[in-house]
Amino acid sequence: MTKKEQLVNLLRQDARLTNDQLAAMLDTTANDVAAMTEELEKSGMIIGYTAIINEEEFDKNSVCAFIEVRVSPETECGYDDIAAIIAQYDEVSSVYLMSGGYDLAVTIKGTNLRDVAMFVTDRLAPLAGVLSTTTHFILHRYKEKDKMFLKNTDERSLVSP
Amino acid sequence: MDYENILSKKVQDLQFSGIRKFFDIAANYDDVISLSVGEPDFKTPWAIRKEAIKVLEKGRTNYTANSGLAQLREAINDYLTDRINTSYDPSHEILVTVGGSEAIDLAVRALVDTGDEVLIPQPSFVCYSPIVTLANGTPVIIETSVEDGFKLTAKALKEHITPATKALILPYPNNPTGAVMRRNDLEEIAEVLRGTDIIVISDEIYSELTYGDEEHCSIVNIEGMKERTVLINGFSKAFSMTGWRLGFAAAPRPIVTQMLKIHQYGIMCSPTISQYSAVVALKDCKKDIEYMRNEYDMRRKLIVKGFNEMGLDCFEPEGAFYIFPSIKKTGLSSQQFCEQLIEKYRVAVVPGDAFGECGEGYIRVSYAYSLQHIKTALERIKLFLEELGVL
C-alpha cells in the first residue's frame, strides 16, 4: 500500500487524527501529511470531513427515508441532469445511480414524518423525468460508515494475558 | 474439611497471575477504558469462521489423531518452511496443542526432572515460572533491562548457566515489553548454547507481529540450534483466534515423542473444529495477517509517540502489541500507578511487576484497540499525569 492509500485508510477510520499523529503512524513529517491531504482534496479524492451522527439520539423526532426512484433517462445526459437536480435539495443526504429494479437511490432526512412525506409528494415525484418513487422509512441504524451503533461490541475481558 | 491440609502444598504456594489480580480490581469499576488486553481486537478472519461452520454442518466432531490432524501438521510444516525457511517431519516432529500455553507446559514437563533448572528471562509472560515449579523444576530468573532493549544477552545467559541447567525459555517477540531478538542477538545466544545440552523453548507466539524492515528470525534458523530447540507458536495472536485454543510445537522427534505422551493422557487431542479451521488459516489468510500487522504497526507508532510526548520514557517496541513505558518519574510503584489510574480516570493498564520483579516501575499498555479508543485513553492518562504534577 502506498503512503497515500494508508493515509486515506487512516482518515476513513478517524478523520480527527492530527497531522502530527498521522505523521507518526506513516513514518513521515506533519508537513508531508498536510501536502498529501491537500493533494487528495484538490484532486477530489477527499470531498469533505464530517461526523457520523447517531440521528436517533441527536433528535428523537427526526426521520430518514430511503427512496427508490425510477426515472426516464435523457438522450444527451443520461441520468446526470435529474440526479443533479435531486441532489441539490438540502433534505437529500445522498443520491446514487443503481443497477437493478430502479434507477436512483435517494436518502433524505427530515425533522418529522410529514416533512419527508411532503418532500416526496411535492418536490420529488412531480419532477420531470421521475416515473415513480417508493419510500422506505429507516427504522433503526446498526452500522454506518464502518462504525457500529451497537454499544459494547468488544466482548474481550477488561484485562487478559 | 481442612482443605489446606488436603490440597497440594506445591499448588497452594503458587500465586495467581498478577494480570488476573488486576482484572479483579478493574472489574469493580464502570466505564473503564481498557488498554490491558492481551488479545487482538480483530475478529477471526471470515474464511476461518466459515470453515468452522462447514465442519459443524458436516458433523466432523470426532477426536483427531493425538498429535493433530495430518493435513494440519502438513500445513504447519508448509507455513514454517515459508515463514522461517525451516522444515520439520509432519508425522513425528510437529504436535498440535491447546494453545501455545499447553505446548510450553508439555515442553517443560518433557524435559525437566526434579531440581533441574530452567532459565527464564523477565519481564515475560506469567506462565513460565509456575509451569516449571509444577514440573518440580527450579525457575531461574534472568532479569533483562531497558538498557539492553529488554533482550537476553549472552553475558547474562552465561552468568546463570549451572550444571543443573536443563532449558532456556526464549520469549520473543516479548509480552510485555515488545522486545524482539534479531538475528545477530540470536547468534550470540546460540554461541553460548551450541556446546551444551541445554534445550531452548522458543515461544514465538507473536512472531507474525514483528515490525520494521527485518522479518522475524527464529533461533532455529541459527546454525546448530534446530536440534536443541522446541519451537512454539500458535494461532491466537497472528490469526486472531484466541478463543479457538490452538497452538503447536515443532521439535526433534525424541522431544516431540515424550511431549505427545503427556498430551495423549492429559488432553487427548486439540479441538477438532479449531484444527480444521486452522488449515484454512494457514493456507488462505496470509493477506489478513498482513492487514492486521499493518494496523497494529500504525497504532504502535501512535501510542509510542503519545507516551513520549507525555514524558513517560517508552522503549520502542518492535514486536507483539504492547508498549512498556517507565512510570518511575511519577514516584509511584507500578501497582499504585495502575490502581490510581483506574480509580481516578478509569483507564486500565497492567502493572509491570506482574511480569517479574524487574518489571517494577513499568506498565504494560496494549494497543490492540481502535485508534479512537487509544486516543481517548491517552487523553485520560495525560490528565492523570498532570494531576500527579509530572507533566
CATH number of the domain residue A18 falls in: 1.10.10
Q: Are the Cβ atoms of A161 and B39 closer than 8 angstroms?
A: yes
pLDDT band at residue B17, thresholds of 50, 70 and 90? confident
Strands B347-348 and B33-34: parallel
Does residue A159 form part of some domain?
no
> Is B327:B312 a contact under the CB 8 Å cutoff?
yes
Three-state DSSP class for residue A92: strand
Does residue A109 form part of some domain?
yes
| Confidence at residue B247, expressed as pLDDT on a 0 to 100 scale | 98
Tally the C-alpha atoms within 13 A of residue B30's C-alpha that lie toward its C-beta.
0
B176/B144 Cα distance (integer angstroms) = 12
Does residue A132 form part of some domain?
yes
User: Which set of grid coordinates corresponds to residue B21?
Assistant: 489480580
In the DSSP assignment, the letter for residue B345 is: H
Does residue A156 form part of some domain?
no
- Sort out which chain A residues have CB atoms less than 8 A from B26's CB and list them: 158-159
A114 and A93 inside one domain: yes
Among candidate residues B259, B275, B257, B282, the one with its CA nearest the CA of residue B91: B257
Q: Evaluate if residue A156 carries a pLDDT over 90.
A: no
> In Å, how far is B301's CA from the nearest CA of chain A?
5
Among candidate residues B316, B358, B331, B381, the one with its CA nearest the CA of residue B129: B358
> Is A133:A68 a contact under the CB 8 Å cutoff?
yes
A100 and A29 inside one domain: no
Top pLDDT among B35 and A150 is at B35
- Residue B61 CB coordination number (10 Å): 10
Please give the full DSSP string across B153-180, using - where no structure is assigned.
PHHHHHHH--TTEEEEEE--SPTTT---
User: Which set of grid coordinates corresponds to residue A111?
Assistant: 425533522
Q: Are the Cβ atoms of A27 and B27 closer than 8 angstroms?
A: no
A34 and A81 inside one domain: no
A12 and A76 inside one domain: no
| Confidence at residue A155, expressed as pLDDT on a 0 to 100 scale | 81
Give the model confidence (pLDDT) of A103-145 as tens digits: 999 999 998 889 999 999 999 999 999 999 999 999 999 998 8
Does residue A16 form part of some domain?
yes
Top pLDDT among B252 and A77 is at B252
Top pLDDT among B238 and A153 is at B238
Number of folded domains in chain A? 2
A131: containing domain: 55-144
A33 and A65 inside one domain: no
A36 and A71 inside one domain: no
Does residue A152 form part of some domain?
no
Does residue A89 form part of some domain?
yes
Which domains, ranges and CATH numbers included, belong to chain B?
3-44+287-388 (3.90.1150.10), 59-285 (3.40.640.10)
Q: Evaluate if residue B191 carries a pLDDT over 90.
A: yes
Q: Evaluate if residue B8 carries a pLDDT over 80.
A: yes
Give the model confidence (pLDDT) of B377-391 as tens digits: 999 999 999 999 988
Please give the full DSSP string across B213-240, using - where no structure is assigned.
SSPP--GGGSTT-GGGEEEEEESTTTTT
A149/A139 Cα distance (integer angstroms) = 13
Q: Evaluate if residue B327 carries a pLDDT over 80.
A: yes
A8 and A73 inside one domain: no
Q: Evaluate if residue B228 carries a pLDDT over 90.
A: yes
Give the model confidence (pLDDT) of B71-128 as tens digits: 999 999 999 999 999 999 999 999 999 999 999 999 999 999 999 999 999 999 999 9
> In Å, how far is A111's CA from the nearest CA of chain B?
30
Q: Evaluate if residue B60 carries a pLDDT over 70.
A: yes
- Sort out which chain A residues have CB atoms less than 8 A from B32's CB and list them: 158
CATH number at residue A118: 3.30.70.920
Comparing CB atoms, the residue among A1, A6, A156 nearest residue B39 is: A156
A16 and A81 inside one domain: no
Q: Residues with Cβ < 8 Å from A36, sequence gap 6 or more?
A: A3, A4, A7
A130 and A105 inside one domain: yes
Q: Express as a percent the part of chain B with pLDDT over 70.
A: 100
> Is B64:B57 a contact under the CB 8 Å cutoff?
no
| Confidence at residue A151, expressed as pLDDT on a 0 to 100 scale | 72
> In Å, how far is A21's CA from the nearest CA of chain B?
6
pLDDT band at residue A152, thresholds of 50, 70 and 90? low
Q: Are the Cβ atoms of A17 and B371 closer than 8 angstroms?
A: yes
A64 and A34 inside one domain: no
A25 and A66 inside one domain: no
Give the model confidence (pLDDT) of A53-102 as tens digits: 988 888 888 999 999 999 998 777 789 999 999 999 999 999 999 999 99
B272/B55 Cα distance (integer angstroms) = 9
Does residue A27 form part of some domain?
yes
A80 and A108 inside one domain: yes
Q: Are the Cβ atoms of B34 and A159 closer than 8 angstroms?
A: yes
Q: Express as a percent the part of chain A with pLDDT over 70.
A: 99
Q: Which helix (H) or strand (E) holds B200?
A: strand B199-203
Q: Residues with Cβ < 8 Å from A20, sequence gap 6 or more?
A: A30, B305
Among candidate residues B222, B226, B224, the one with its CA nearest the CA of residue B183: B222
